[in-house]
Structure 1
Amino acid sequence: MGISVKGRIKKGFTLLAGASMLLLSGCANEDAAQSVKEISDKYSVAEENQLIVYTSHKEEVYLPIIQEFENETGIYVDIQAGGTQEMMQQAKSASEKGKCDIMFGGGVESYEAWKDIFEPYESSEKEQLDEAFLSKDGCWTPFTELPIVFVYNKKLVHSSMAPQTWDELLDSKWQGKIAFADMDNSGTSYTIVSTIAQMQGKEPSDVVETIIHQTNGAILKSSGDIIPDVSNGTSLVGITLEETALKAIDRGYNIDMVYPKDGTSAVPDGCGILKNAPHEENAKRFIDFITSSQVQGFAMNQFYRRPIRTDVELREDFGKLNIIDFDVAKSAEDEEATFDRWHQLTGQED
């Protein structure tokens, strides 16, 4: 059975997939179990049928997946959505109060950096998952494989002139013409910085300086702005995910895509169970669900996301990749210092 969009979801500060809206409430000193009981009593949803998910995925990704999870399990899912760093910070706070079950979305290097807030769990589908993408200690589970690619405006940049390597992209000819999103709102942007650093043997904080220089400090608010910015000619080139580029091409945007010839990363996005999760068993069921062949096939066919299962045949329109040996642990270690430098250079220091 395929995944279909059913039910009603309302947008707001707190989002809910399903017919009932569960509003998290209570003060910091309130006992987590009592808080969950009050929610259950108020909305007539049994405690064993609840799941609280924090996500950095776009709505078009998380909405149908979570709705189908609800349909198959009868579990009502309360969703809070935002940028990767924002949601990791909120998940940490919620975990301390026993008010969050799952973090869903964001590169696994972020999960590695925040691993102390996650409870180890191995999916029941583990035997079918590519070992290259698995966490060594089970603190997070990969969802899909996400290669980094270049995009360019196909009317303003001839294919023969488009950058083919990272060195070409960072050449002075593209200064002020590159679309790049704010790292605070885009986990992909941090992955890009970390990828360049590992490929060129540089410190990520130095790469941040290069990015600021190459963009003339004109940083886009979110990763969702990359494609429109390149398509309308405000920028000539951009750096984004393969799935984002392929979807945009399919939708008729004025762009084309390049797989970097000198290599690129394909860091998975992840999912993890928070410590003190009030609905831990339901959280485990959710991880088993998103790593199932059903959901992996759906994510590939609908969202152009590469599966992390070894038994799902790839789409024909996926290009050949030259994948680097990306060090997730190193990327996680560098994260705090890199964001500190980013904030210094973008004027976002506390």
Structure 2
Amino acid sequence: VLPSNNDNLDDSSDLVIFSPHPVDMTEYIVREFRQRTGIKVEVITGGTGNLITKLRNPATTQKADIFWGGGIESLETITDLFQEYTSSEQEAIENSYISSHRLWSPFSVLPVVIIYNTKLVARNLIPCSWSRLLDPYFRNHLLFANPVTTGSGFTSLVTMLRTMAEPGAPEGEGWPFVRSFMFQLGEAGLIASSTTVYKSVAEGAFFAGVTFENSALALKMAGKDIDFCYPAEGTSAVPDGIALIKDARHPDEAKRFIDFVLGRDVQSILMSKWYRRSVRTDIPSNQPNMADLNIIDYPIAESAAKRTQILDRWTQEYSRFHP
């Protein structure tokens, strides 16, 4: 099954999925689903922000049956486009990840980490804290995914705003730190693709960047010259999600797919194949226990409600440093 960027899908197309997930993962899971069910699937790929825009477009909205991927705080901004569905697998899912409205289901858990190139970053400069990224050594050598176009960038931005607010400042108002971080990025440090962050750090084009645990772990296990840290001041572990589109053309097939990706067969291989933490309680992780990490209480509803406000301020602040 090949990914597609074609908006002009034939009305007779089978199950249609919008997904910002890595193509290798979507292809594998979709192929397995088709082999087991006989249901054909068309996957439309792109960044989370771009796919949300596409979903909002009246010309494309009704062409999708499922939105698969993107942090749940991003999905919260478009719940009016989803319809409620309670998966048959829900009882096995960690309760704290389940939404009260059932308009999306969690798929995998993605801690935010700092990735760095082990050949370019000396031991005394290893960025195991947000504040270390402000060291002059990282100026113009730091990479960040644009929060306007990527879900990972937005989640990382909100995480920094939450963890780096100065004493006495309102919760989530870490803009002084974020401004300093923007300065560190330099002219080429903000990019539209989250994939470019970890790939460029691994290739040595940049010293460090901010990404999700699964991306950094995959490169480390592949023997690349990278390592990663969970920021000491705190980080987030927000699930990405999957949702059934309102008025989907193929609701029954869509529900079968949602149950399939939340089922034990798929969830049990998330870590071994793609280094993602499962949302199920019956599948252990071989990565550091969440309880041992400084995981913040991520403001899902608040960040969704203030998404436009946060991104407008980001764009305004960033333009001051990089007109």
The TM-score normalised by the length of structure 2 is 0.88
RMSD: 2.4
1:13 aligns with 2:13: no
Cα separation, 1, equivalents of 2:44 and 2:182: 31
Q: 1:88-130: per-residue Cα shift (whole Å, max 9, x none)?
A: 1212336986321100011000011111111111111111100
Aligned to 1:280: 251
Aligned to 2:9: 24
Cα separation, 1, equivalents of 2:77 and 2:294: 26
Is this contact kept in 2: 1:193–1:204, CA < 8 A?
A: no
Aligned to 2:198: 227
Range that drifts further, 69-78 or 95-104:
95-104
Cα separation, 2, equivalents of 1:204 and 1:86: 26
Range that drifts further, 260-269 or 213-222:
213-222
Q: 1:121-160: per-residue Cα shift (whole Å, max 9, x none)?
A: 1111111100111112111111000001111121121233
Matches within 5 A, 1:1-350: 9-14=1-6, 24-25=9-10, 36=11, 39=12, 50-93=14-57, 98-199=62-163, 200=165, 201-203=171-173, 209-218=179-188, 219-315=190-286, 320-344=292-316
Is this contact kept in 2: 1:149–1:241, CA < 8 A?
A: yes
Aligned to 2:168: none
- Superposition deviation, residue 208 in structure 1: 5.5
Is this contact kept in 1: 2:125–2:132, CA < 8 A?
A: no
Range that drifts further, 198-207 or 263-272:
198-207
Q: Which is higher, the Rg of structure 1 or of structure 2? A: 1
Is this contact kept in 1: 2:2–2:42, CA < 8 A?
A: no
The TM-score normalised by the length of structure 1 is 0.82
Query: In percent, how many aligned pairs have the same letter?
Result: 35
Please give the secondary structure, in 1, of the residue aligned with 2:268. Answer: helix
Cα separation, 2, equivalents of 1:323 and 1:235: 27
- Superposition deviation, residue 346 in structure 1: 5.9
Amino acid at match of 2:258: I
Is this contact kept in 1: 2:55–2:61, CA < 8 A?
A: no
Runs (4+) off by over 6 Å: 204-207
Cα separation, 2, equivalents of 1:318 and 1:248: 20
Q: 1:150-176: per-residue Cα shift (whole Å, max 9, x none)?
A: 111211212332122222224455332
